[in-house]
Amino acid sequence: MRVTSGARARMPSDGEFLAYLCRKRKALYGKAMRLAIIASALLLTACAPRLSFSNEAGGVINRTGSIGSDRAYKLATDHCAKYGKIARFTDRDVLTNSMRFECVAS
């Protein structure tokens, strides 16, 4: 539907209008899906356990829920492996949702 100067605009037929709506719906659906995927990825990243304090003696891992305990163990073992040691968890604080570990000689 193109408007030229000095000419009256033509009303689209029902078929043209439905095709237009279908194209717009597909475009909006694609944008909504991309936004939903990005939002869910950000939420999952924000909830993942992370190493908040660490040195060669040990560290603290925050945000360790029941889902993140396996990931927390992997973070601790990878951290201690940098120093040639193994991780040993010493404390789990339910109130702060964190775990403490120390790196001990193997």
pLDDT by 10-residue block (mean), the chain, 106 residues = 59 75 75 77 64 82 74 88 92 85 89
Q: What's CA 36's distance to the chain center, in Å?
A: 11
Q: In this predicted structure, what is the pLDDT of residue 53?
A: 75
Return the pLDDT at 87. 92
* pLDDT score for 43: 65
State the burial class of residue 59 (Cβ atoms within 10 Å of its Cβ: 0-12, 13-18, 19+). buried
Among 69, 101, 70, residue whose Cα is nearest residue 86: 101
Please, are residues 79 and 60 in contact by the beta-carbon 8 Å criterion? Answer: no
**Residue 6, CA distances (Å) to 1, 3, 10, 13 in order:** 15, 9, 12, 21
